[in-house]
Amino acid sequence: MSLDWQGRRSGGLTGQATVPGDKSISHRAIMLAALADGESVIEGFLEGEDTRATARIFSQLGVRIETPNPHTRVVHGVGLHGLQPSAEALDCGNAGTGMRLLTGLLCAQAFDSVLVGDASLSKRPMARVIRLLEKMGASVSARDGNFAPLHIHGGQVLHGVEIDTQVASAQVKSALIFAALYAQGETVITEPRPTRDYTESMLKSLGWPIDYRPGEVLVHGGGSLKAGGMRIPGDISSAAFLIAAAMLVPCSDITLCNIGVNPRRTGILSAFALMGGRIELFNERRESGEPVADIRVRSSSLKGIDLPEHLVPDMIDECPIFFVAAALATGKTRATGLAELRVKESDRIASMVKGLRAMGAQAVDSPDSVEITGGTLHAADIDSCEDHRIAMSFAVAAQCADGVTAIHDCANVATSFPGFVALAQSLGMNLE
Ligand code: S3P
């Protein structure tokens, strides 16, 4: 049964809220804690379908993981070489991060594994990871050489190499880093533009020999990981929907607390600031090594911008909500360098352009760019393409449109932002 939403114009968002834990960090926290020696306590874990799928997979691989209360996991790490084979396929659900990082990790094990995913994940490209891992000595078979199910042939000897990822993707980079932990010698990874560096920073904090700077990583093979606790901040990618809603709906003033503001994730705040968004960070601090802040957002008069291309990797998941802001701003917004959006949970350029046009916006696209002329929106019937971020983007657009907007197939919002509707309602959004 499909889960549909209805949204209509709201009269102002107010109040204070927190959002669920960061998805990228939650995946990595489970993976690295599983490979560490001893017990790690993870707090602020995202109880989303994607990250729970990753935790379930490590249970299948013989790691004991307890849930003393929601958002907390106690992981009894088995050490770098302690994972056990699973007789069953390992189901990553909707999660590209889960599947790509696990491919890197599992290709270095002594045993074989099979990774599967849902219909959307089974259409997403995996050759970008497989081809590079093969250069390290890995052996992975994929449907048509590119798609899940992935049959990972263990028992290979991996060796360190110098690799350019060719694509600005933290998932590709992190898959290589996981393999490099097990490789003989050093692996040097360069990427065309810097991407989120959580794998690197977490490895360093767990005592692994790794050096990195934006765009380049050097990993030494062989070592061990200390177990350690971690507090995961709120996910800025989830906060972005509420930030946009508060900017776009008149008479709004909200504060979102405990949001991760790693510079590799705050491209959306820079983009909104360029548009004239009234966004203030305060209470800036560090938790478990990560920069965290509270964020106040007030209604803003937004203007269209030419998005600086270097911001794109730092806001890759926020592009859909950025397009909504552009559609309601004054003047034209142009963004280029967006080709990666075509291979996310849906083709996010196509999904957004189609939905925004249905709501009356002027939007045109090329293979890697979008141009949107701001104006007013009206209600429409929206296909979310079963993509969580498309569903939430149009839930925000509906707050600024005449009439009742129906958004179809929203169940996958539970992959990244369980409780989105209730939280949005509590701040004053008109969504059910
Ligand atoms: C992620 C990296 C990004 C992002 C995804 C999470 C990660 O993908 O879109 O939601 O956790 O590494 P790419 O690095 O492939 O762009």
pLDDT digits (tens, 9 = 90+) for 108-142: 999 999 999 999 999 999 999 999 999 999 999 99
Helices (H), 333-385: 348-358
* The Cα angle at residue 131 between residues 128 and 137, in degrees rounded to 5: 140
Integer Cα distance of 159 and 137 in angstroms: 7
With bands split at pLDDT 50, 70 and 90, how would you rate the model's confidence at 1? low
Eight-class DSSP state of 20:
P
Diameter over CA atoms, the chain: 62
Averaged over 157-171, what is the pLDDT?
97
Cβ neighbours, 10 Å, residue 144: 6
CA dihedral 153→343→413→291, nearest 10 degrees, is 90
Integer Cα distance of 148 and 374 in angstroms: 39
Length of the chain: 432
Residue 66 confidence (pLDDT) above 90: yes
Averaged over 144-156, what is the pLDDT?
98
Which uninterrupted H or E stretch holds 177? helix 170-182
Nearest CA to ligand 1 atom 11: 24
Averaged over 162-173, what is the pLDDT?
97
From ligand 1's centre to the CA of 15, what distance in Å?
30
Nearest CA to ligand 1 atom 10: 317
Averaged over 179-187, what is the pLDDT?
98
pLDDT of residue 75: 98
Residues with catalytic function: 317
Q: Are 40 and 33 in contact (CB under 8 A)?
A: yes
The ligand 1 atom at the shortest distance from the C-alpha of residue 195 is 14
Q: Are 74 and 65 in contact (CB under 8 A)?
A: yes
From ligand 1's centre to the CA of 333, what distance in Å?
24
With bands split at pLDDT 50, 70 and 90, how would you rate the model's confidence at 228? confident
Report the percent of the chain where pLDDT is more than 90. 99
Tell how strand 362-366 and strand 369-373 pair up: antiparallel
Nearest CA to ligand 1 atom 5: 97
pLDDT tens-digit readout, 103-113: 999 999 999 99
3-state secondary structure of 128: helix
From ligand 1's centre to the CA of 329, what distance in Å?
27
Residue 295 confidence (pLDDT) above 80: yes
Nearest CA to ligand 1 atom 9: 317
Averaged over 374-393, what is the pLDDT?
98
pLDDT of residue 22: 98
Q: How far is CA 335 from CA 247, 351, 426, in A?
A: 20, 16, 33
Residue 229 confidence (pLDDT) above 90: no
Residue 207 confidence (pLDDT) above 70: yes
The ligand 1 atom at the shortest distance from the C-alpha of residue 101 is 12
From ligand 1's centre to the CA of 354, what distance in Å?
23
Which residues are 366's β-sheet partners? 369
Averaged over 312-336, what is the pLDDT?
98
From ligand 1's centre to the CA of 346, what distance in Å?
14
pLDDT of residue 2: 85
From ligand 1's centre to the CA of 192, what distance in Å?
15
To which residue do tokens 């920069």 refer? Answer: 291
Beta strands in 101-138 (DSSP E): 113-116
**Dihedral of CA 44/48/54/58: which sign?**
positive
Q: Are 206 and 37 in contact (CB under 8 A)?
A: no
pLDDT tens-digit readout, 72-95: 999 999 999 999 999 999 999 999
Return all residues near 291 (Cβ < 8 A) that are at least 6 apart. Answer: 260, 261, 262, 263, 284, 285
Averaged over 176-182, what is the pLDDT?
98
Pocket test for ligand 1, best of 101, 105, 169, 314 (most atoms within 8 A of CB): 169
Integer Cα distance of 181 and 43 in angstroms: 25
Cβ neighbours, 10 Å, residue 9: 17
Which residues are 7's β-sheet partners? 405, 431
With bands split at pLDDT 50, 70 and 90, how would you rate the model's confidence at 150? very high
Integer Cα distance of 24 and 262 in angstroms: 12
Sheet holding 147-153, edge to edge: 90-91, 113-116, 147-153, 139-143
Nearest CA to ligand 1 atom 16: 169
**Dihedral of CA 195/196/202/204: which sign?**
positive
- Pocket around ligand 1 at a 6 A CB cut-off: 24, 97, 169-171, 174, 195-196, 316-317, 340
Return all residues near 306 (Cβ < 8 A) that are at least 6 apart. Answer: 333, 334, 335
Integer Cα distance of 107 and 84 in angstroms: 13
Integer Cα distance of 196 and 222 in angstroms: 24
Cβ neighbours, 10 Å, residue 139: 15
Report the percent of the chain where pLDDT is more than 70. 100
Pocket test for ligand 1, best of 22, 23, 24 (most atoms within 8 A of CB): 24
Mean pLDDT of the chain: 97
The ligand 1 atom at the shortest distance from the C-alpha of residue 344 is 9
Averaged over 205-209, what is the pLDDT?
96
From ligand 1's centre to the CA of 316, what distance in Å?
8
Q: State if pTM tops 0.85.
A: yes
Q: How far is CA 226 from CA 27, 187, 220, 232, in A?
A: 18, 21, 16, 18
Residue 430 confidence (pLDDT) above 70: yes
With bands split at pLDDT 50, 70 and 90, how would you rate the model's confidence at 328? very high
Residue 375 confidence (pLDDT) above 80: yes
